[in-house]
């Protein structure tokens, strides 16, 4: 780990201004950043501690949703009564990630910003376009079993690691920020991440010094909330494929609400609203599910070891739809 300057902020605007310096970073839980600093993948010259900011509250909005402070820990968010009651898909997604100890430290804002777990990104003696732009992507023809099949490019196939962000994408969450000049803006999660294209080192739309202050959820969505995570072991493992879903089945047995977001398969939390539209107002028969899977995966590209993710995603999509239909019949 390299030497760095440390400062502690007392207000969001002060934090943003302090972190506007070249190679400065915010630190809160530090569950990913500190690992990266130890490996000298991240080498900030200045750390701005934001843990004293009053951004640890979960508040109800006038629209019936929630406004979540960026410093709310993953454990506190997953266990919040309003989240459990009205956004159970979010609670389940968070609890599917990491360990209890890490969730106690990891923050809501930090979870959005965690870096990929691609082997080559962490192997500092290996080329990696995300770590060192222009050096190449050995994962394309190398060890890529865990990596992405959607949203990839010739420069990068690294998968996005977050479970929480998948549920946030499903729920149409919005991210509130403050910039170094004191101005604020709101960014839909759907517009927050950047596809790798030829600049995989640019992962999101945040500007230098821009601090996430809150995440806003709209009013709850009626339906069956589920989060399925296929992984190599039952805990402390990243998704090979995951699916966050909110599905409602009408009295006639047809799907009236379908929302689906996927993790483990994309370079960002992956949602295709055309797939949802195709399924709505159908009875979710095998042929319709096949058409939905075809649409979801029409641009999917495996690179050898991760080819299995394509049929695995098909099976998971089918399981999620059929389970919701079965639950609707029993209601």
- The predicted model gives 77-100 an average pLDDT of 98
CB 48 within 8 A of CB 23: no
pLDDT exceeds 90 at position 329: no
Question: Average pLDDT in the 306-317 region?
Answer: 98
pLDDT at residue 21, as a whole number: 86
**30-61: per-residue pLDDT in tens?**
999 999 999 999 999 999 999 999 999 999 99
**Whole-number pLDDT of residue 328:** 87
Indicate the average pLDDT of the chain: 97
Q: pLDDT: is 168 or 331 the higher one?
A: 168
SS (H, E, C) 289-309: HHHHHHHHCCCCCCCCCCCCH
Q: Read off the pLDDT of each residue in 186-215 and give the average, rounded to a whole number.
A: 98
Tell me, what's the pLDDT at 166? Answer: 98
| Distance from C-alpha of 102 to C-alpha of 107, rounded to nearest angstrom | 10
The verdict on pTM exceeding 0.95 is yes
Q: Which residues contact 209 (CB under 8 A, 6 or more apart)?
A: 16, 17, 18, 19, 20, 21, 24, 179, 180
CA distance 186 to 43: 28
Query: What proportions of the chain, in percent to the nearest 5, are helix, strand and coil?
Result: 30, 20, 50
**pLDDT on residue 155:** 98
* Span 116-143, pLDDT tens digits: 999 999 999 999 999 999 999 999 999 9
Is 256 exposed, middle or buried, given 0-12, 13-18 or 19+ CB atoms closer than 10 A? middle
Would you list the domain boundaries of the chain? 224-330
Share of the chain above pLDDT 70, in %: 99
Strand partners, 107: 73
Query: What's the N-to-C CA distance of the chain in angstroms?
Result: 56
- What three-state secondary structure class fits 37? helix
Nearest Cα to Cα of residue 327 among 179, 177, 223? 223
- Cα separation, 270 vs 251, whole angstroms: 30
What is d(CA 112, CA 161) in angstroms, rounded to the nearest whole number? 9
Mean per-residue pLDDT for 105-125? 98
Residue 331 has pLDDT above 70, yes or no: no
CB neighbourhood size of 171 (10 A):
25
Does residue 262 register a pLDDT over 90? yes
Give the model confidence (pLDDT) of 212-252 as tens digits: 999 999 999 999 999 999 999 988 899 999 999 999 999 99
pLDDT at 265 over 80: yes
CATH class entry, domain 224-330: alpha beta
The structure tokens listed for 92 are: 């389940």
């Amino acid at each position: 780990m390299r030497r760095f300057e440390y400062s502690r902020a007392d207000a969001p605007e002060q934090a943003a201004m302090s972190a506007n310096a070249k190679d400065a970073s915010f630190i809160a839980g530090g569950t990913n950043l500190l690992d990266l600093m130890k490996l000298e993948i991240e080498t900030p010259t200045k750390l701005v501690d934001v843990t004293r900011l009053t951004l640890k509250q979960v508040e109800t909005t006038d629209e019936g949703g929630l406004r979540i402070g960026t410093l709310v820990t993953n454990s506190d968010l997953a266990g919040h009564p309003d989240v459990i009651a009205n956004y159970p898909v979010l609670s389940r997604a968070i609890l599917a990630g990491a360990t209890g100890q890490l969730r106690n430290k990891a923050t809501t804002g930090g979870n959005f910003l965690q870096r990929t777990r691609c082997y080559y990104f962490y192997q500092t003696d290996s080329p990696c376009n995300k770590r060192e732009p222009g050096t190449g992507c050995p994962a394309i023809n190398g060890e890529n079993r865990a990596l992405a099949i959607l949203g990839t490019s010739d420069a990068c196939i690294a998968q996005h690691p977050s479970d929480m962000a998948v549920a946030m994408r499903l729920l149409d969450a919005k991210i509130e920020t403050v910039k170094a000049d004191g101005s604020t803006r709101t960014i839909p999660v759907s517009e927050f991440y950047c596809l790798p294209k030829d600049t995989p080192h640019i992962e999101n739309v945040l500007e230098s010094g821009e601090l996430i202050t809150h995440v806003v959820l709209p009013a709850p969505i009626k339906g069956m909330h589920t989060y399925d995570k296929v992984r190599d072991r039952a805990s402390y493992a990243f998704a090979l494929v995951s699916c966050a879903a909110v599905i409602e089945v009408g009295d006639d047995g047809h799907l009236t609400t379908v929302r689906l977001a996927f993790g483990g398969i994309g370079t960002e939390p992956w949602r295709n609203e055309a797939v949802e539209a195709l399924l709505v107002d159908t009875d979710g028969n095998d042929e319709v599910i096949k058409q939905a899977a075809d649409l979801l995966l029409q641009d999917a590209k495996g690179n050898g070891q991760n080819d299995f993710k394509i049929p695995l995603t098909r099976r998971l999509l089918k399981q999620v739809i059929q389970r919701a239909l079965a639950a609707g019949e029993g209601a």
